[in-house]
Structure 1
Amino acid sequence: MSVGVVMLVHTAFDRAEQAVRHWVAGGCPVVVHVDKDVDRHTYDTFVAALSDLDHVLFSKRHRCEWGGWGLVAASQAASTLLLEQFPDVRHAFLASGSCLPLRPIAELRAYLDARPDTDFIESATTADVPWTVGGLDRERFTLRFPFSWKRQRWLFDRYVQVQQLVRLRRRIPEGIVPHMGSQWWCLTRSTLQAILNDPRRKRFDAYFKLVWIPDESYYQTLSRCHARKIESRSLTLSKFDFQGKPHIFYDDHRELLLRSGCFVARKIWPHADELYATFPVKIPSVPAQTEPAPATIDRLFASAVDRRLNGRQGLFMQSRFPNTDREKGIAATPYAVFQGLDDLFPDFTDWLSRRSGAEIHGHLFAKDRVHFSDEASTYRGALSDNARLRDYNGRMFLTNLLWAGREKTHGFQFGPADSQDIRWMIAKDAQARIWVVSGAWAVPLFLSGRSAADVRAEAARLQRIENKFLKILRSSHTRARIEITTLADFMQSPMDMLQDIIDDIAGHRGQAVTEVPKMADLSGLAGFLQDLKNQGMHPFLTGEFTGQTQRSSNDVDQPKPYVVGGK
């Protein structure tokens, strides 16, 4: 009878009864504290269910509320009874009704027998470890907290603010240094007796009654005054999420719990039938003296917290969806946006698909419909080519398209004639690579055969839209990689940009461009642009387009040598 158990119970009494029987079968006496808020009938039924066990006692009941003194008072009453009634107990193990022994209890007893003078209690100063999540750390020891955080939240917050405003500070009792840690401890008889029989206990209790969440600091602080040897860790596996709420273990955590090597786990879902049928394991899964190793599963919990906080690249969580810019990444895969190139090269989309092996779409945001890469009416994920459906939320349309085809690099055409709802999205997305030939919107107008006077208004409209887009791309908020060149500059050396595009999309698979897309016949474009100027519409985004510039465009079928290296 080297280990005794203090168990705090307030719900799931059928599972608490099962846990009590596990402990008693393992040779441990148990003192149970039942929350005073539990009705009398439920309490009497629970006591009667355990009446056949000789080594089970029930302590005086206290009202237990999270963050309040009642939890400490409950453990004090149960611990006192345990030490009085079971003099052979050398270690007292604090557990709850939702705790479940994982390894044979005989292994826990043998483990503690080999360490008769060691107290296992997580205990660290707030200055050393910033464990608190969304709350108070040092101030929980220097302010007063007479109001319930759950039931009297308004009074709780106002009283804290008043104390902070008037700079009211409590004096910490002489002889103690506040420590914090997990409330689930395993203390030696000598340490626990010293805490309960300390002549200064009334003073300490009066102080900790007004500390916030005293069950995480009372024993953690006082054990430092009386223990001979402390190992600052808990023998109970308990994990907390980023909000400080305990993780709940379900049936699908079975292998995880087996791997942990821990003696006890908390908090077990009451309906986890498989866990309650499996644990404590009948045949030891690890050598009896194996140390508990919660660190072996810490990586998985850290990964789970990261997934919950940040999600996955290009995938929106329901809880994060309404909050702009809180996503981990807009797109699931790198993608390219081309503006103006398909105006100059009618077969640019097909050419780039062949050369790069990427999924190159047409104008996904065209006003008439969505032009997918294969011109199908639907794409993966049941995305429709209906423009009205797309424009209901263009940002999520693009996000879903990239997620559905995330195994490949995507690219699509974009222009001032398209729906412009996604401009800021692609500009702020670090996954985007944007190539713009500004002023290329003039080419379709020129090829239409209409006079400059007829297209003047349309040219002015397209230029205004493109100019707004270019201002966004040059914003300090832009995270995409941008390459902007005017139509005139592009015509001076079109192969440079085409080669850059292939290198960027194809990566190490990129090769020198030997096959080039066929450029539209731009003979007379310089005169057309001059006519626009004469009509009072200045196409400044095209750059200075001259006759010499136009003659250079005739050389596009003669690619420059692609030099990889050398002197």
Structure 2
Amino acid sequence: MKLGVVMLVHTALDRAEQMLRHWTDAGCPVVVHVDKNVSNADFARFESAVAALDGVSFSPRYRCEWGMWGLIAASRAATKQLLAKFPDVRHVYLASGACLPLRPVSELKAYLDARPDTDFIESVTTADVSWTVGGLDRERFTLRFPFSWKRQRVLFDSFVYLQRLLKHKRRLPSDLVPHLGSQWWCLTRKTLTAILEDPRRAEFDSYFKRVWIPDECYYQSLARRHARKIESRSLTLAKFDYQGKPHIFYDDHAELLSRFGCFVARKIWPRADGLFATFPRKPDPALAMQEPNSGTIDRIFAQAVDRRTNGRKGLYMQSRFTFLDSENGVTAVPYTVLQGFDCILPGFADWLGQQTGRIVHGHLFAPNRAHFAGGGAYYRGGLSDQPRLRDYNAKMFLTNLVWNGRDQRQAFLFGPADTQQIRWILSKDLQASVWVVSGAWAVPLFLSGKSASEVRSEAARLQQIESKLLETLRGPDARSRRRIMTLVEFLESPVDVLQSIVDDMAGHRANSLQKPPPMVNLDGFAQFLQDLKNQGMHPYLTGDFSENQPMKPRKPRLTKPYIVGTK
């Protein structure tokens, strides 16, 4: 018994000739269909070049257009000719001129010899599996499609809209369950003969001529009526991108294609000389019975599609840059934002950097400049400390800062005196860990030595800005990790709060704190807040300070050790 091949040729006739020789050298008879869109002169040269090959013949030519009936007419005419001319053919393999055998054809023949009654064709129902990528799904079987999607797009869309408006639905032939799948199949003679000689073929042909993309459903549906045993998979490795277009294999895919034991791959770039020189590989007895496994390559391509459509976290692709919130994560890695701590703890940024071993910047969004860690004018990625450059797109400044320093955990100081463009980013970014001591802005005003009447307007302005930030952080759409406390709450147990920050930033390498860093002297601060109230400005974000409020931190709460007993 022989393996016969039907080859559909559209372009790259020189490569099609090379593939044709691979099949005939293995003793496979081949019937070639050349698209009628190919000029007569090119067809004549191609026909002359392969005239000496044994077992090669040409079928009547049809005009093949994507999504139209011509592809079915071409494959059916070629299949009918092959079965009539070669009665010893048991399996027919549908290939194209852009296909490349990856393994010796002899191994494919042996594989089919071990499965003489099995049809290999991907065939799934639209009700069970969402097979299609974009476009129409169930409607491709219930509407009419007389117009070309590529050449007559306006007519195509208008006619679909009209049928939907009129609620028109075609009646499916009785006992026919539509199936979809890859157009690259390998079917037995018995199944193909039953399809070609089906008494209802005229009825089925009339129906499928007005189905959208019939080459993905004609054989897939009719094989279910006649096949004895179907394996719903294709022996041809054909991958599609997220738009449903065939993926093209290049020379750098050589190692990938050789890894999984697939028999044939398409679509091969005509200039991939490396692939054409490498495949099909030489016969290897150790690999002769290898089962084709496309599962791993499917996962690799799924990851590639995900990378192509979603990108990497915090890395903004040019194709999606203009689309708001289309990024795959606002920033690349976790980072920490600290508001109010430096108002109470002088030198807080340096202390935290030493304590955690992480990069702690100053106020990156200060009005005068971006205060990078180390005090430099530039940071990784060429980020400048100039406020005009930073504020031109504060979101991109932050995402670039995190991306370029993604090898280390970063933190920066923030406050109501800083530019607030990133307020919404800090709220919705899953990577952000935001710690806020509300009302801490009042401490520098107190330490300035000015009276309450002199700083009243500034205090009101800062409180209003911070209030908007807190409202955003507490909003229903907030997704960042955040802890908000008043100044009073922080002063009650500063070591516990600082220990939590250190643990969050340093992880398992965090050190246990025995005491907080030096704190500013807050004697008289309660009276200062009362003076602000007397001036008509209520500093409610600081918390409820009383005259007897302790201005010195308490000792850290010690947990009682316990012992897990053993028998």
Distance 1:480 1:14 in 2: 58
Q: CA deviation at 1:564?
A: 6.4
- Count of residue correspondences: 563
Query: Which residue does 2:556 correspond to in 1?
Result: 560
In the superposition, relative to structure 1, how do residues 27 and 441 fare at CA in structure 2: closer, same or farther (>3 Å)? same
Output the CA distance in 1 between the equivalents of 2:139 and 2:4: 35
Q: Deviations for 1:312-348, whole angstroms, at most 9, x for unmatched residues?
A: 2222222222222222211222111111100111111
2:533 is paired with a residue of what secondary structure? helix
SS in 1 for 2:151: coil
Gap change, CA 1:323 and 1:42, over 3 Å in 2: same
Encode CA deviations 1:167-197: one digit per residue, 9 max, x unaligned.
2221211232211111101111222122122
Aligned residue number for residue 465 of structure 1 = 465
Shift of 1:285: 7.8
Q: How does 1:446-457 map to 2 (within 5 A)?
A: 446-457=446-457
Distance 1:312 1:565 in 2: 44
Question: What is the alpha-carbon distance in structure 2 between the residues aligned to residue 177 and residue 56 of structure 1?
Answer: 36
Partner of 1:270: 270
Mapping of 1:397-408 within 5 angstroms?
A: 397-408=397-408
For the residue of structure 2 that corresponds to 1:548, the secondary structure is: coil
Instruction: Kindly indicate whether residue 349 of structure 2 is the aligned counterpart of residue 353 of structure 1.
Output: no
TM superposition shift of 1:450: 2.2
CA RMSD of aligned residues (A): 1.8
Deviations 1:518-552 (A, max 9, x none): 11122222222222222222222222223322xx2
- TM-score, L = length of structure 2: 0.95
- Alpha-carbon distance between aligned partners in 2 of 1:133 and 1:517, rounded to the nearest angstrom: 59
Structure 2 vs 1, CA of residues 389 and 116 (structure 1 numbering), >3 Å: closer, same or farther?
same
| Partner SS for 1:134 | coil
Number of the residue aligned with 1:20: 20
Q: Distance in 2 between matches of 1:456 and 1:330?
A: 37
Q: Are the aligned partners of 2:358 and 2:409 in contact in 1 as well (CA < 8 Å)?
A: yes
Matched, 1:242 2:242: yes
Matching of residue 300 in structure 1 with residue 286 in structure 2: no
User: For residues 203-259 of structure 1, what are the alpha-carbon distances to aligned partners after superposition, in whole Å with 9 as ceiling and x for unaligned?
Assistant: 111110001111011111111222222222111111222322222211111111111
145-154 or 409-418, larger mean C-alpha shift? 145-154
CA contact (8 A) 1:251 1:275 kept: yes
Partner of 1:77: 77
Q: 1:387 matched to which residue of 2?
A: 387
Following the alignment from structure 1 to structure 2, what is the Cα–Cα distance between the partners of residues 270 and 389? 47
Aligned to 2:544: 544
Equivalent runs, 1:410-429 vs 2, <5 Å: 410-429=410-429
Look up the SS of the partner of 1:553 in the other structure. Answer: coil
Contact persistence 1:259–1:296 (CA under 8 A): no
Aligned to 2:441: 441
Describe the SS at the equivalent of 1:119: strand
Consecutive unaligned residues of structure 1, counting only runs of 5 or more, are none
Paired amino acid for 1:262? C
- Residue 511 of structure 2 corresponds to 511
Give the equivalent residue in structure 2 for 1:186: 186
Equivalent-residue separation in structure 2 for 1:107 and 1:81 (angstroms) = 25
> In structure 2, how many angstroms separate the alpha carbons of the residues matched to 1:195 and 1:115?
20
The answer on whether the counterparts of 2:495 and 2:515 sit within 8 Å (CA) in structure 1 is no
Question: Deviations 1:373-422 (Å, cap 9, x if unpaired)?
Answer: 11111111221112211112111111111111212211110001111111
Residue 378 of structure 2 is aligned to residue 362 of structure 1? no
2:124, 2:131 within 8 Å by CA — same for their partners in 1?
Answer: no
Deviation at 1:463, TM superposition (A): 1.3
Q: Distance in 2 between matches of 1:327 and 1:117?
A: 50
Greater mean alpha carbon deviation, residues 346-355 or residues 483-492: 483-492
Name 1:213's counterpart in structure 2: 213
CA 1:372–1:562 in 2, change beyond 3 Å: closer, same or farther? farther
Counterpart mapping for 1:45-124 below 5 A: 45-124=45-124
Q: CA deviation at 1:51?
A: 2.3
SS in 2 for 1:412: strand
Structure 2 unmatched runs, 5+:
none
Task: Give per-residue Cα distances to partners, 1:540-567, cap 9 Å, x unaligned.
Answer: 2222223322xx222x3x5324326559
Task: Name the aligned partner's letter for residue 418 of structure 2.
Answer: D
Is the contact between residue 258 and residue 285 of structure 1 (CA under 8 Å) also seen in structure 2? Answer: no
Q: Report the 3-state secondary structure (helix = DSSP H, G, I; strand = E; otherwise coil) of the residue aligned with 1:373.
A: coil
Q: Which structure 2 residues correspond to residues 484-523 of structure 1 after superposition, within 5 A?
A: 484-523=484-523
Matched ranges for 1:331-342 at <5 A = 331-342=331-342
Task: Give 3-state SS (helix, strand or coil) of 1:62's partner.
Answer: coil
1:344–1:440 contact (8 Å) kept in structure 2: yes
| Alpha-carbon distance between aligned partners in 2 of 1:41 and 1:447, rounded to the nearest angstrom | 92
Identity over aligned residues, as a percent?
A: 64
Question: TM-score w.r.t. structure 1 length?
Answer: 0.95
Q: Give distance in 2, aligned partners of 1:45 and 1:239.
A: 31
How many Å separate the matches in 1 of 2:168 and 2:244? 27
Residue in 2 that maps onto 1:409: 409
Task: State the distance in 1 between where 2:54 and 2:512 align.
Answer: 86
Is 2:514–2:556's contact at 8 Å kept on the other side of the alignment?
no
Partner SS state of residue 319, structure 1: helix
Aligned-residue offset at 1:165: 2.6
Amino acid at match of 2:472: I
Aligned 8 A contact 1:103 1:284 in 2: no
- Give, as a single letter, the amino acid of the residue that structure 2 aligns with 1:505: M
Moved more, 416-425 or 231-240: 231-240
Output the CA distance in 1 between the equivalents of 2:494 and 2:226.
81
Note closer, same or farther for the CA distance 1:90–1:415 as it changes in structure 2 (3 Å cut).
Answer: same
Deviation, 1:79, is 1.1
